[in-house]
Amino acid sequence: MKGDDHTQCFIGVFPAPCGKQQNEIMKKQKGIWLDLRNAYIISLPEEINANKDIEVVHLFSGIEETSATGGTRSKAPWGPQGGDPQRKAQERRHREEGDYFEALIDVIGPDTEELVIFGPSEAKYGLANALSKKSQKQPIISSVESADQMTEHQMVGWVRAFFKRPALRHLPKQ
């Protein structure tokens, strides 16, 4: 047949119609894998079956690793001790975590509508709390999930599976 397009679209292993339904507009969805050292922000394309690249942004936290802190002591017995370095270290770490979460919120942006947060550490709950305290428009947190260390491709696959957004595959024209 002349002019007949033999391109077939597949969602997973199942044939899917190619056409207007293919580019159905979806919510702006993002996933964040994070721990206290790194964060990966995965942005899915807005069209449901778009064959566009998924954007992955990698951020380093800059949070210092905790180390043993010791105090100072005077030479006199029962003399005064120096300040509390452990408390200062905890305050500094708390401030650094807050700055890290603020940087993540800035990268997420106000245009994100749905967000899933996942990762191995407790930092995911800290980010969820920081997002809930913001007064400006924030995304709906779909879920906060535990996940192990992953490669970048595994993170992208995990976010696609969470939002039920399969990779679109095209068969070549014959």
Q: What is the DSSP string of 124-142?
A: HHHHHHHHHH--S---EEE
3-state class (DSSP) for residue 34: strand
Query: Facing residues of 143 across strands?
Result: 116
Quick check: 167 and 48 in contact, CB under 8 A? no
* pLDDT of the chain, 174 residues: tens digit per residue: 444 444 444 333 334 444 434 334 456 889 999 998 899 999 988 776 555 678 899 998 888 776 655 556 666 777 666 666 778 888 888 899 999 999 999 888 888 889 999 999 888 999 999 988 887 778 888 889 999 999 999 998 899 889 887 665 555 666
- CATH number of the domain enclosing 118: 3.30.420.60
pTM above 0.85, yes or no: no
Return the CA Rg of the chain: 23
pLDDT digits (tens, 9 = 90+) for 31-41: 999 998 899 99
| Residue 173 domain-assigned (yes or no) | no
| Residue 123 domain-assigned (yes or no) | yes
Strand duo 114-119 + 140-146: pairing: parallel
| Residue 4 domain-assigned (yes or no) | no
Q: Count the domains in the chain.
A: 1
Quick check: 74 and 81 in contact, CB under 8 A? yes
pLDDT at position 166, please?
64
3-state class (DSSP) for residue 153: helix
| Residue 104 domain-assigned (yes or no) | yes
pLDDT at position 109, please?
84
Structural domain harbouring 89: 25-65+84-166
